[in-house]
Chains A and B, each alone.
Chain A
C-alpha cells in the first residue's frame, strides 16, 4: 500500500465524512420528529390523518432509499421542484427514517401495559399527566434500543448518496479508483472511514441501551406471561 498516497488524500475522506455526518445528523433529526408526530397520530387514532400516516409508513418501508432519492432528485424537477443534492439527501433520509422511528415509538407505546394508565387514573392523574409522567418515560425506555438500531441503519444508508451527486465517502473512493487506480488504498480508507464513524456510535448505543433499561415493571410480557 502506498502510504504517501493515503496521507495525501486523507483530507478528501475527512471532508466527505464530515459531509456524510452532517447530512446524517440533519436527516436523523427530521426522521425522529416525523416518527414522533406520526406515532402520536397513530396513538391518538386521529381519523383521516391516521390513514395518511399508515400509507406513508407502508410506502416508505417498502421502497429502497436509492429509488426514493432518484425520484426526488431526477423526477421532481420535472414538476418544477428543484432540490439540491444535499436537501434531497436530507429529505430522503427523513422520509425513510421517519417510518422506522415511528414504528420504534409505537412499539414503545404499545409496550406500556394498560394497567399503568389505570393505576395513574386511580391515583388522580389527568390524561396528559399520565402520558407525560407514566407512559412516555416507559415508552422511551423500551424504544431506545430500536432508536439506536435505526440511527446506525440510517447512517449506513447514507452510503447511497453518491447516486445523487453528493461527494460522500463512496464518491471519493470511486473517484480515487477511477483516477489513480489505487484500488487498495481507496477501499482501505473507505472501510476505515466507515469503521471510525460507526464503531464509536455502536459502542455508545449499547452503553445507552444498558443505561435506560429501567422500564421492566408492568411490561406486558411479564404481566400477561
Chain B
C-alpha cells in the first residue's frame, strides 16, 4: 500500500533512535565545549601576557585553527594519528580532540577580548589590596568577564553543535547514519523515507540550536546595559 512516508518515523523505535543518534553528536559538542571553556580561559590569560614568543605562538595557533576548515582538522587527527602515533582512535575521540582544539582557540580569543576590555584599575586595585596574580584573576577579573563572555560563548556552543554534524564523515554512528539505516531498511515499504527522515533531522537540529541562539541574543540584550 502506498502510504504517507512519514509513518516510517513511528515504526518501532525509529524516532527514538534518531534522537539517540543526535545525542551522540550533542555529547561530543557538550564535552568539547566544556573542555574548551576551561582551556580557553587559560589560553585567554596566556594571550594577554606581554611576551613576544607567547604572543607569536598563541596567535599562530589561533590563525591556523581559524583558517582551516574543521573537516580538514578532523581528517588530520583521524587519519594522521592512526598512522603516526599508531593510535587507533575512534571517530568520537578524534572529534572531541578536534572540537576542543578548535573551541579552545575561539574561546581563548573571546576571553582575551574580555580581559582586555576590563579596565586596568581593576587589576591595580586588586594588586593594591595585596592579591596575587591568581587571586586577582579568580576573585576580581573573571567574575566580571562572565557577563561579557556568556552571550558569545552560548553562540559558540550553537556553532559547535552545528559543526559536530561533520562527524558522520569520519564514521561516527550518529543521527545521519541512523537515518540512513532507517531509509535502507524501509526502502521497499516506504520509498519516500529519505525525504521524511532528512527533513526530520533538519528540524531536529533546528529544535536543538534555536533555543540556544535565542538565549544568546537575550543574554546580549540583557547585559548590554
The chain A residues found within 8 Å of chain B, CB to CB, are: 58-59, 61-64, 66-68, 70-71, 74-79, 152, 156-160, 162-163, 170, 173-174, 177, 183-184, 187, 190-191, 194-195, 198-199, 202
Beyond the given pairs A74-B183, A159-B71, A170-B71, 14 more chain A to chain B contacts, judged by CB atoms under 8 angstroms and listed by A's residue number, are A63-B209, A64-B162, A64-B166, A66-B168, A68-B202, A70-B198, A78-B193, A78-B194, A157-B69, A160-B169, A184-B83, A187-B75, A194-B67, A194-B69
Cα-based distance from A68 to B205 in the complex (angstroms)? 10
Closest to A195 in B: B67
Assess whether B202 is in contact with A78, with CB atoms less than 8 Å apart: no
In the complex the two chains form, is B80's CB within 8 Å of A183's CB? yes
Q: Are B169 and A162 in contact (CB under 8 A)?
A: yes
Chain A residue numbers with a CB within 8 Å of B69 are 156-159, 194
Question: B201 near A191 (CB under 8 angstroms)?
Answer: no
Asked if residues B76 and A191 are in contact (CB atoms below 8 Å), the reply is: yes
| Between-chain CB contacts (< 8 Å), 10 pairs | A61-B213, A62-B210, A62-B213, A71-B202, A157-B69, A159-B69, A159-B70, A173-B75, A184-B83, A199-B67
Select one of B75, B83, B201, B210 contacting A67, CB under 8 A.
Answer: B201
Count how many pairs of residues, one from A and one from B, have CB atoms less than 8 Å apart in the complex: 107
Residues A177 and B195 in contact, CB atoms below 8 Å apart: no
Contact yes or no, A63 B206, CB < 8 A: yes
Report if A63-B67 is in contact (Cβ < 8 Å); known contacts: A74-B198, A78-B195. Answer: no
Residues of chain A lying within 8 A (CB to CB) of residue B123: none
What is the size, in residues, of chain B's interface with A at 8 Å between Cβ atoms? 38
Task: Indicate with 1 or 0, residue by residue over B190-225, a CB within 8 angstroms of chain A CB atoms.
Answer: 011111111101100110011001000000000000
**Cα distance A59–B162 when bound, in Å?**
12
Query: A66-B168, A67-B198, A67-B201 in contact; A160/B71 too (CB < 8 A)?
Result: yes
Main secondary structure of the interface of B (DSSP, over half): helix
Q: Which residues of B contact A157 (CB under 8 A)?
A: 69
Residue from B5, B68, B165, B206 within 8 A of A194 (CB atoms): B68
Contact of A71 among B83, B192, B199, B209 (CB under 8 A): B199
Q: Quick check: is B137 within 8 A (CB to CB) of the other chain?
A: no
B153 at interface (Cβ–Cβ under 8 A)? Answer: no
* A59 in contact with B72 (CB, 8 Å): no
B36: chain A residues within 8 A (beta carbon): none
**List of A residues within 8 angstroms of B76 by Cβ:** 187, 191
Complex interface: chain B residues within 8 A of A195 (CB): 67-68
Contact of B72 among A62, A159, A184, A202 (CB under 8 A): A159
Which residues on A sit within 8 Å (CB–CB) of B176? 66-67, 70
Is there an interface contact between A190 and B72, defined as CB atoms closer than 8 Å? yes
B9, chain A: closest CB distance, angstroms:
14
CB distance from B16 to the nearest CB of A (A): 19
For residue B197, which residues in chain A have a CB less than 8 angstroms away from its CB? 75
A64–B163 touching, CB < 8 Å: yes
Beta-carbon contact of B205 and A62 below 8 Å: yes
Contact of B79 with A by CB under 8 A: yes
Closest 8 interchain pairs by CB?
Answer: A159-B69, A62-B209, A78-B195, A75-B198, A64-B165, A156-B69, A64-B162, A78-B192
Q: Is the beta-carbon distance between A75 and B199 smaller than 8 angstroms? A: yes
Docked pose: A152 CA to B66 CA in angstroms: 10
> Does B104 lie at the interface of the complex (its beta carbon under 8 Å from any beta carbon of A)?
no
Which residue of the partner chain, among B67, B168, B206, contacts A198 with CB atoms under 8 Å? B67
Is the CB–CB distance between B205 and A194 below 8 Å? no
A59 with B206: in contact, given A71-B199, A74-B194, A195-B67 (CB under 8 Å)? Answer: yes
Our pick among B75, B82, B196, B205 for the contact of A64 (Cβ within 8 Å) is B205
- State whether A183 touches B79 (Cβ < 8 A): yes
Residues from chain B with a CB closer than 8 A to the CB of A158 are 69
B residues 172-189 with Cβ under 8 Å of A?
A: 176, 183
Bound CA span A158–B15, Å: 30
A203 shortest CB reach to chain B, Å: 11
- Give Cα A158–Cα B76 distance, bound, in whole angstroms: 17
Neighbour of A177 across the interface among B79, B169, B213, CB < 8 A: B79
